[in-house]
Structure formats: C-alpha cells, structure tokens
A and B are shown apart, each in its own frame.
Chain A
Amino acid sequence: MAETLFNYLRDVLYNASHAKLNIENLPEDFRPLGEGLVYFSECVLETRNLAKALSKGDLNNALPSPDNEMAAPLKALHSSLKHLTWQTQQVAKGDYKQRVGFMGDFAKAFNTMIEQLDQRQKALMAEIESGQRKTQALAQSNSLFEAITGQISQWIVVVAKETGEWLYINRPVESSLITKNLEPDLRNWLTHYAYNLPDNSSPRIAELELERGDISQFFSAAIYALHWYEHQAVAFVLTDVSVDKERIRALENVAYKDTLTQIFNRHYGMQLLSEWLAQGKTFIICFVDMDNLKYVNDKYGHAEGDKYILCVTGVLRKFSPDAVICRLGGDEFMLLAQNWTLSNAQNKLEALRDMLIQYNNGPDALYNHSMSYGVIEVNADNTHSESELLSIADEKMYEYKRSHKMERQGSVH
C-alpha cells in the first residue's frame, strides 16, 4: 500500500500524465488519505499549468480555483502582470501618470522610464509649440514679405550660390523677363556674380547693363549674401536706373560736349589732360587750328563758318577711334592719344590735312579748307603743367602755320 501511494506521489511530481490513483482499490482506512492525495495532485497540476503559462507570457490561461491556496502567489503574480499590461497600454496612449507600485526593481525601472517619457513628451510638446509659434510668425512675415516685394518696382532675385538656380523672384521680375526677353543675359550676370561673391560678404552695390538690340537697360544692384533654406544664396535687389543714367548722360553732354560738333569741349579736354598727367601716362598732344575761319565767318556768315567747323571735325575724327578730340574753342582743337609716336601722329595729321585740302578742288569750294597743327609728346617724367604743354603745342602749331603761309597766299580766293 505504502508503495502504491509512494509511486503515485512520484508520478504526480515527475510523470503527471501517468499519475493515477484508484481510490476504490484502497483499503477503507486509506481512502481519505487517497482522496487528499488526489486533491493535492490536482492543486499541483493547476499550479504547474499556471506557472507554465506565465513562463510563456500567456495571461489568458484558465486559472486555479479559489480553493487552491498553493496557486495564490502565482495568481497574485498573474494579476500583477495583467495590471501591468493595462498600465503599459495606458502609457502607450500617453497616460504618463501611471506608476507601478509592486515588483521591486522592475517597478523602479518602469517608473523611471515613464517619468523620462513624460519629460521628453513635455519637452517635445514645448518644442512643437515653439515651432508652431515660429511657423506662425514666419508665415506672417512671409505674407508681409510677399506683399512688400509684390508692390515695389525693384526686381528681387535670390540665386543659389553654387548652382545659379533662381530660388526666388518677385512679380516684377516675372512680368519684365517675359516681355523684355532679358533673361539669358541677366541669368549669366547673376550666376557669375553670385558664384564669385565671397561667403558672408557684406552687402555690396554693383552696376549692370542689359542690352536688347540697340536699347540698353541699366540697373543698380544691391547684393546680399544670405542663407535660403539649405542653400548658400545671394539676393539681388535690382533698381532700374536707365532713366537716371540717361539724365546723367545728358548732363555730361552739356558739361563735357561741344554743342555744335558733339565732340568733347575744352573743359573735358583739360580735365582729361590733367588726369593723364597725374597718372604719369605717355601720350601725344595735337594742337589743331583751322585756317581761314575768321575769313569764312566774315565773308559767308557764321552758318557757313559752322559748316566749315563741322567739316574739320569730321576729318579729325578719322585720326584714330581711340583719340580724344576736343574743341578748345573757336577754330582750335586738341587731340589726346596714347600709343602714338610723334612722327606717326604728324604723318597722320598731315594726311588728314591733305584730305581737308581736297575739299578745295570741289566745284562748290568757296574758300580754302586747311588746318595747321602742332604735336608734342608727353612722357612719364614730364614736369610741365597742362597749360604749359598746351602753350608748347600751340607754339608748334604757329610754327607750322607760318611755314605754310606762303602756300595759302597762292591758293583760291
């Protein structure tokens, strides 16, 4: 009997599926013990099954009956895990007030994690709110920016420094580029300027001239280096100064041009002479005097005299496209030219004089066309003032005039 009960207990512990005890076969006195052992084995089995389920994380397995006190600690653990699952679900929903009040070190770690999540969420929310405020402020600023840039007549172009891509243009640019076909030249200029502008450059001002056919358009460009999203960029604010430029040209004409001949006047000529002297340049000065102008004026009137002056001017223009030709006043002209030798200049002037004299052979020639000239060379070591140099050239001209007086005395009229 003792062996039967011993074997049954061993099977309950080590071979549960074979554990069987037939109470009916037990002697009468042993039956309560047998019934107790069977109940004990049921408690062990229930407890073991619960332990197995918990070890696998299965919290939905059938639980031991309330009578099974042996399983109570495991049921308490099961309940704690169920509650912990619910708490974790709550945390996942954003309920960071959940705290675990059991399970020792795990509870400490879990609660710390939730506190950190809470802090991070609060920091993140603060960051989001701050970001939202900034976005709102930026949106407001942007709408103001759009309104302002849309209203002003200046062109605003933001160019990516590396690629030359146009990152922003305002409305006046759009409409102007479409109607005036200026985009290729403008794009080239902006790309080149942006690429060569040093990083973090301070604001600059530059001038830009765009040509379309015979028409030039002038711009004053204010240039700013800036960051545009991820790009190093350059903003150009272009102001159309064509009208101003034209006005300045007109004023320059009044100030520097001779009204009749439209070549430079004495004021401009003397100013340029002074500059070249200050710069130590090597150049030639030609002093040219028209012959017979007083005679023409007196005899044929000033209108004819003006025609004569224009004729001489036209001849002098042929000296060189690079020479600066000035009318000093009355019948006197001055030519300033670099990269000419004295003899070459004299030869050229002599040829021009011959060209002028050719007018005398025409059927309508009323008077002698002629001119006299004096040429001097100015070097870098020159010590004369501009008026002194002009006097020297003038003197040479008189020498020339005297030496050719006889030729004129034997000419027409």
Chain B
Amino acid sequence: MKNVFAANKSHSSFSWNMLGDIKEGRGDLGEDMPVLVYRLMQYTMLDVLTKAFDSERANEFFRDAGFLAGTEFAKNVLDLNADFDAFVANLQKSLEQLKIGILRMEAFDADTGDLTLTVGQDLDCSGLPVTNENVCNYDEGFIAGILEAYTGKQYLVREVDCWANGDRVCRFQGHVTA
C-alpha cells in the first residue's frame, strides 16, 4: 500500500524541518561533529562537481546552496524584525554559537546597503593554505541569503581577500544589486 502521508516529502527538496530532530536522532553521539567530517563532504562534493562540470560551475552550485542555506538560516534562526544593529549583533552571536565562524563588521553604508565584513576561523576554510583561489563560494552565497532575507534586497557577495595570521580570515564585500 502506498504511504499517502509521505507522498509529498523528498530529501532532494530542501525545507528546514527536513533537517530532522538531530538531538533525538543522535542521542548518544550528540549534535556536534568534527569539522573534518564537514570538510570531507564539502571538498569531495566540490571534486565530484568540478569533474562532472567544471570549476566555475561547481563554484556556482556551492554558491547557490549557500544562498539557500543562508535564507533558511535567517528565516528560522534570526530575528528579521530587529533593527540593523541588533540584527548584526544577533548574527554574530548565532554564527559563533553554531561554530560557523567569527563575524566582524568593517563597514556599512546605510544609504546604499553595501557592506564589508570578515569571517575568522571559518568552518569552510580555516586551516587551508592561503592561495589566490577563492574557496569560500558557499560562504558568499550564505551571507547573500541572510542579507536578502533581512533587507528584502538582492545582494552580490564576494570574497575579496583572505590571510592567515595563525587563524585564517576571509573578507567579504556585499553590494546591493536590486
């Protein structure tokens, strides 16, 4: 007999509640896991997508996935009705609590909405050797998704610099495009 209740559910179509009850589902192992495992999935996925398409397309896939994650994260975790200062403070706190990274605002233009920020000890890239490659495509999308969910404006976010002084720091610039 067909399960009529599960008819419209699919893991290939993301929704926040499909992340499941991690606490209950991992009663013994808990909600945390090593960054190594996260990176293992991330970079093997990048490898596969790059080979299947090309590097540029693979990066686009990662950016789009990050945008979807950022949008859902903002809707489900952040207070979208707070004023900008409170929103940024809340975002900083949430990213740190979830061990995604340490966010610092460097500039914000209230007139244009453009901003510059850095993320230190980033989940995606901290510890990676610094090269001229842009590796934080997922973060670019993630930040753009959050900003669009909050402001209602479309953002183009790009990693413009990175350096390692012990921990690695990446600088992002966001521009309002529409």
A-to-B contact residues, CB < 8 Å = 63, 65-67, 69, 71-73, 75-76, 79, 82-83, 85-86, 90, 93, 95, 97
Majority SS at the chain A contact face = helix
> Do A66 and B104 form a contact, CB below 8 Å, given A75-B165, A79-B169, A97-B89?
no
Q: State whether A75 touches B130 (Cβ < 8 A).
A: no
Chain B, interface size category, equals 10 to 19
- Chain A CB count within 10 A is highest, among B85, B89, B163, for B163
How far is B84's CA from A90's CA once the two chains are assembled, in angstroms?
A: 11
- Against A, the Cβ 8 Å flags (1 = close, 0 = not) of B159-170 are 001111100010
Q: State whether A72 touches B164 (Cβ < 8 A).
A: yes
Q: State whether B116 touches A82 (Cβ < 8 A).
A: yes
29 intermolecular pairs with C-beta atoms under 8 Å apart: A63-B161, A66-B130, A66-B131, A66-B132, A66-B162, A66-B163, A67-B130, A67-B131, A67-B132, A69-B130, A69-B163, A69-B164, A72-B130, A72-B164, A75-B163, A75-B169, A76-B163, A76-B165, A76-B169, A79-B104, A79-B169, A83-B118, A85-B106, A86-B105, A86-B107, A86-B108, A90-B85, A93-B85, A95-B85
B-to-A contact residues, CB < 8 Å = 85, 89, 104-108, 116, 118, 130-132, 161-165, 169, 171
Interface pairs A-B: 4 shortest CB-CB: A82-B106, A76-B165, A72-B163, A83-B104
Chain B nearest CB, measured from A244 CB (Å) = 70
How far is B162's CA from A97's CA once the two chains are assembled, in angstroms?
A: 28
What 14 new A-B contacts, CB under 8 Å, besides A76-B169, A86-B104?
A66-B130, A66-B131, A67-B132, A69-B130, A71-B163, A72-B163, A73-B165, A75-B169, A79-B171, A82-B106, A83-B104, A83-B106, A90-B85, A97-B89
Which single residue of chain B is at the shortest CB-CB distance from A81? Answer: B106
How far is B169's CA from A83's CA once the two chains are assembled, in angstroms?
A: 13
Chain A nearest CB, measured from B37 CB (Å) = 27
